[in-house]
Structure 1
Amino acid sequence: MPRSIAHLPPQVQAPFDVFISGVPQKEGTDYVVEGRDLVFERELRKDKVSGWRWFLGAWGVGTYRQNDSVDIRYTLNGRPMVAEGLEIEPA
């Protein structure tokens, strides 16, 4: 079964909330924390737009692929913060 990892930025400390493409995720069900990594028991992918796909998009031709975004909502020094678009890699 494919797994994916997202690394927590150094400033993020528990407690925090995890979202994939804006959808809240639940620790223990959707992901687990291993050290400074979030481990997901499914394949997550970030779409990389090539020059050719960008060119087609500029002419109104859509090409769609899986494009997951892992975002973290946390508090730093009493201020609410968001870390957006964490890097995703296969586990």
Structure 2
Amino acid sequence: MAQSTVPLPSDVRSPFEVYVNGVLQEPMVDYQVRGGALVFARSMRKDKVSGWRWALGAYGVGTYRQDDSIDVRWTREDGSQAVAQRLEVSEVSD
């Protein structure tokens, strides 16, 4: 079964909220935290647009691929809110 990992920014502290494509995720149901990273028990991908696909898009030709967006929201020690958007996703095979 493929798993996806997302390294957390170094200043993230519990409690924090995790969103995948704008949908709030539940800890221990949708993801686990291991060694400073989020671990999802499903395959997620972040689309990378090549130069060729970018050129096609400039002419109005669209290509669509899976593009999961992982965002984390937390409160800093000074009380201010912080959001890390579109975190990098790594896929790991079991």
- Give the TM-score normalised by structure 1: 0.96
Partner of 1:10: 10
SS for the counterpart of 2:65 is coil
Specify the SS of the correspondent of 2:29.
Answer: coil
After superposition, the CA RMSD in angstroms is 0.7
Unmatched 5+ stretches in structure 2 = none
Q: What amino acid does structure 2 have at the position aligned with 1:88?
A: V
Equivalence for 2:48: 48
List alignment gaps of at least 5 residues for structure 1.
none
Q: One-letter code of the match for 1:81?
A: A
How many angstroms apart in 2 are the aligned matches of 1:9 and 1:81?
11
Per-residue deviation, residues 6-39 of structure 1 (Å, max 9, x unmatched): 0010010000000011111110110001120100
Match of residue 32 from structure 2: 32
Structure 1 runs, 4 residues or longer, greater than 6 Å off:
none
Which residue number in structure 1 is paired with residue 89 of structure 2? Answer: 88
For 2:47, give the aligned amino acid: D
**In 2: Cα distance, 1:35 partner to 1:46 partner:** 21
Q: Secondary structure at the match of 2:54?
A: helix
Distance in 2, Cα, partners of 1:20 & 1:80:
19
Aligned residues: 91
| TM-score, normalised relative to structure 2 | 0.94
Cα distance between partner residues in 1 of 2:19 and 2:28: 14
